[in-house]
Structure 1
Amino acid sequence: MRKWGIGLSTLLVAAFMAGCGGKEDGKEALKAADQPVTLSVFFKCFQVTDEEFAKFYVNPTSKKYPHITLQNVACTGPNQYKDMIVTNSLPDIIVDGVTNLRDLVDAEIPTDLNELIKQQQFDISSVNKQSIQFVKNFAKNGELYSLPITLNTFATYYNKDVFDILGVPYPKDGMTWDDYAGLARKLTVQKDGIQYLGLQLGAFNRLPSQLSLPYVDSQTGKATLQSEGWRNVFETWKTIHDIPGNRTPEAKNLYSGRNRFVQDKNVALFPDIAMPEGSLIEYEKSGGKWDIASFPAFKEKAKVGVGVFANGMSIPKTSKNKEAAFRVIANLLSEEAQSEAAKNGWMPILDKADVQQHLLANSALYKGKNVKAFYYNELAAPYPLTKYDAIATSKYTEALRQYVYGSKDLNTVLRETEEATNKAIDAEKAK
């Protein structure tokens, strides 16, 4: 993964001598590179336990760079990074989902990593290209404001007990949304006083990402909801929830399929992001039996899964330790670190089969499970991003809820929501 032309030590000396022209100065640069340094690492939109921080970040770093100490800065709120700007206390590294990178870019926080990549001769060619392109969509001139370090994986979890009770064959890799809707009709049954739900879904943004649908036109700044792609997404959700008996009573629960799968145990199929192992351990303790199949694809896009959902690392411009911070990131993207992390549950970001084969190798929970389902689909191509996507996402999410549970026809829902979204965007532009 890394390509250190003439070696790290020689490279540092040569680079410094080129700028300052002296052997003694070069020795000083080499010495400074190995001086003990503590880097603060801020997890912007999620929490990590001390065990996770040690396993995935500290241990691989200290093994490669014993002089670098990582300090966990826990997230206390969604706007904490804004307070850090005011108090001049931004960290050396920020870890966040790349879908949330807009906040940092708009605040002009991240360093363009291209120069550090060039300086340290780091080869990113094995990093998933879709994830790199997704990050570059936040840039104006090819800047790279984050390096993705792990993908979020998606699959279809299924309750083997429900299939066995109802005598329906288990799902297979490669099935489409139409296939799953057909299965759901067979599995949405009331038997022995229990209402079984054939298919439940999670968050709103999974399906539109499969079709690479923009929320807002990047050229016009207008909502894009009245398109065939978005119509397809809304109709797919409606078809699934119109299966008699498959709809939960309250609209507010439309996006909470995981709870019904894990807690109620009456859901047959639940396609979504990989679940925390803790949830599945409790599921098994209560007698539940499960496995996974590939995430369903749209029939017109066979083997195309969910888009880029990845965690990445950025380096704020204010960091005084950019070179050391980048070494940490580069090391976490090494084949050795990615393979070890994969064994413990990280979906590797490297497109290398010999790294991916280690996924969940240390997990007793996934032993004997169809782990290859996580790799079955390709990532969908990134969609064009705009600064108004959050506004559109909020409007579209509520519109789908109203469509599934309301009485308005699809044309009316799409038209009214698009109009409301454009008004909200115009109001934001006027600020």
Structure 2
Amino acid sequence: MNVNLKKGLVFVSLSVLLAACGGQNGATGGTSAGSETPPAGNPAEAPEKLKDPVTINFFYNGYSGSLMDEWKAKVKDKYNIILNPYLNENIDNLIASGVKLDLIAYSAGGLFKAMDLQLTSDMSDLIAKYKFDMSRLAPGVLDSVRMYTDKNDISVMPYELNNNVVIYNKTIFNKFGVPFPKDGMTWEELNELVKKVSRVDSGIQYRGFAYSGLNLIYKNQMGLPFVDPASNKSLVNTDAWKKWLSTMAGLYQVSNNDLVNAKEDQLFFKEQSLAMRGGPSPLELLPPAIESGLEWDAITNPRFAGMENVGSQMNAPFLAIPPNSPHRDEAFKVIMFFLSDEMQAENARAGRVPVLKTDSVVKEFGTKLPFLNGTNYAKAVFADTIGKPIRVTKYDGTVRSQLSAAIVDVATGKSDVNTALRTVEENANKAIEAAMKK
């Protein structure tokens, strides 16, 4: 393996371990959905280093021990705060054992579990106390966070963003004499392109496109709600959701682009028989694939026709402070450090998409990943902007799981769109009712 690829792979491997399960990269640009007026303050102001060390219990689902050691050293040097990490532990068992947590880091999928376990609390007082400038966050981040609770408070703090891009195999397009995909395509246009490169040649099935379905449901580019927060009833049996499902499932109804064994990462990176791959960050998988001959580039995540300027929903891992922590101030200092220009830039260099809009931070994206040089990847990453947020409910996950199954049913001809969404609605409502009785 050449030296540049080795370096790139090392940095990517470390960056991937930074992410909680289920969160990858995301967007920093976009149109804010509302007011994001921060408390007055200088973002350069940092809390003073503590005279005496303070230990805080930190739950994190996703770190390696060696990487956590690096973070511990930096936090200790910065604030004289000692991180006592709980890595990849079962959160229920941890709480049952009597451990008092001061800080947690969770994937977006764990949001309501954390809330149910009373591991989150409004940080507005700490934001004001330490004059943390919320206007430094990427447009749409604060508005999205406020939609996580009925009180519109700030109970979690994203520390990186999740985005989708489409990467493509140049060799396949050249093989069939088909022009490369372009930025700004709609899903409808992509479907037509999929038809041109989904073929069987010399006994090899070349598929046009595959994606991570659940990730696209999370991102929900049409801004469609999953559950009515007042009635706790599913909201998916609508014309808008029919359009969404028809479009997403339709990509797998193209001849030779069926769902059978459509494992996007296996096909794209290892077998290299997939023309386009959509979904979350591919950075950890690219270096070895490039070394084995992959010629690739990236385009922006497609959007729906007539909604080309509408961004995706935010799907980001977050930090939170339990309300009964005796060290809320110290925990918030750690959050401030994770969201500092210094740390955000460091993560950006390794391919993590920063939660800040600061130009000097954004410009650092991917600079430690030489295999991104000369590609459109960075531009495509930051094009997946955050749209107007929907009201989030604790039962959204139930509906998302049902929608994921519906994509398969429609794509394989097991069900039509109307029937599939009625089934989603019925099954989701039953599951929600059962969960509410517990």
- Using the size of structure 2 for normalisation, the TM-score is 0.84
- Please give the alpha-carbon distance, in whole angstroms, between the structure 1 residues aligned to 2:235 and 2:303: 22
CA-to-partner distance for each residue in 1:193-232, whole Å, 9 max, x for gaps? 2211011111324156111111111222111121122111
- Please give the alpha-carbon distance, in whole angstroms, between the structure 2 residues aligned to 1:203 and 1:258: 13
Answer yes or no: is the 8 Å Cα contact 1:98–1:310 preserved in 2. yes
Query: What does residue 35 of structure 2 align with?
Result: none
Query: What does residue 58 of structure 2 align with?
Result: 41
Q: Identify the match of residue 416 of structure 2 among 391, 409, 415.
A: 409
- Please give the alpha-carbon distance, in whole angstroms, between the structure 1 residues aligned to 2:43 and 2:243: 50
CA gap of 1:387–1:288, structure 2 versus 1, over 3 A, is same
- Please give the alpha-carbon distance, in whole angstroms, between the structure 2 residues aligned to 1:6 and 1:399: 49
Q: Shift of the alpha carbon at 1:327?
A: 0.8
Higher mean Cα deviation, 110-119 or 381-390? 381-390
Alignment of 1:14-413 (within 5 A): 33-44=50-61, 47-54=62-69, 57-58=71-72, 60-62=74-76, 64-65=78-79, 67-76=80-89, 80-207=90-217, 209-249=220-260, 253=261, 256-277=263-284, 279-370=285-376, 371-413=378-420
CA-to-partner distance for each residue in 1:163-196, whole Å, 9 max, x for gaps? 1211222222111111211111111122222211
CA gap of 1:401–1:331, structure 2 versus 1, over 3 A, is same
- Please give the alpha-carbon distance, in whole angstroms, between the structure 2 residues aligned to 1:358 and 1:8: 22
Answer yes or no: is the 8 Å Cα contact 1:132–1:148 preserved in 2. no
Answer yes or no: is the 8 Å Cα contact 1:126–1:351 preserved in 2. yes
For 2:60, the aligned partner's letter is: F
Q: Shift of the alpha carbon at 1:40?
A: 3.0
Unaligned runs of 5+ in 1: 13-29
SS of equivalent residue, structure 2 residue 371? coil
SS of equivalent residue, structure 2 residue 140? helix
CA gap of 1:6–1:291, structure 2 versus 1, over 3 A, is closer
Unaligned runs of 5+ in 2: 1-37
CA-to-partner distance for each residue in 1:209-264, whole Å, 9 max, x for gaps? 11111111122211112112211121012321111111033xxx56x322221222
Answer yes or no: is the 8 Å Cα contact 2:349–2:366 preserved in 1. yes
- Please give the alpha-carbon distance, in whole angstroms, between the structure 2 residues aligned to 1:237 and 1:395: 14
- Please give the alpha-carbon distance, in whole angstroms, between the structure 2 residues aligned to 1:407 and 1:393: 19
| CA RMSD across the alignment | 2.4
Q: Shift of the alpha carbon at 1:111?
A: 2.4
Answer yes or no: is the 8 Å Cα contact 1:307–1:379 preserved in 2. yes
Answer yes or no: is the 8 Å Cα contact 1:174–1:303 preserved in 2. no
Q: Shift of the alpha carbon at 1:317?
A: 2.2
CA gap of 1:298–1:313, structure 2 versus 1, over 3 A, is same
Q: Shift of the alpha carbon at 1:295?
A: 0.8
CA-to-partner distance for each residue in 1:98-155, whole Å, 9 max, x for gaps? 3421111122221211111111121111212422222222223232111111112321
Answer yes or no: is the 8 Å Cα contact 1:127–1:351 preserved in 2. yes
SS of equivalent residue, structure 1 residue 41? strand
CA gap of 1:333–1:104, structure 2 versus 1, over 3 A, is same
Query: What does residue 28 of structure 2 align with?
Result: none
- Please give the alpha-carbon distance, in whole angstroms, between the structure 2 residues aligned to 1:417 and 1:343: 41
CA gap of 1:346–1:36, structure 2 versus 1, over 3 A, is same
- The size of the alignment, in residue pairs, is 398
CA-to-partner distance for each residue in 1:274-298, whole Å, 9 max, x for gaps? 1242x21221222112111111111
For 1:275, the aligned partner's letter is: P
CA gap of 1:70–1:351, structure 2 versus 1, over 3 A, is same
Query: What does residue 3 of structure 1 align with?
Result: 41
CA-to-partner distance for each residue in 1:67-98, whole Å, 9 max, x for gaps? 1233332113xxx2222222221432111123
For 1:202, the aligned partner's letter is: S
Answer yes or no: is the 8 Å Cα contact 1:157–1:270 preserved in 2. yes
Q: Shift of the alpha carbon at 1:5?
A: 9.3
**Greater relative contact order (Cα 8 A, min sep 6): structure 1 or 2?**
2
- Please give the alpha-carbon distance, in whole angstroms, between the structure 2 residues aligned to 1:190 and 1:382: 42
Tell me which structure has the larger Cα radius of gyration: 1
Q: Shift of the alpha carbon at 1:347?
A: 0.6
Q: Shift of the alpha carbon at 1:63?
A: 5.0
Q: Shift of the alpha carbon at 1:266?
A: 0.4
CA-to-partner distance for each residue in 1:25-76, whole Å, 9 max, x for gaps? xxxxx9xx321123332213xx222454356x446534532x1233332113
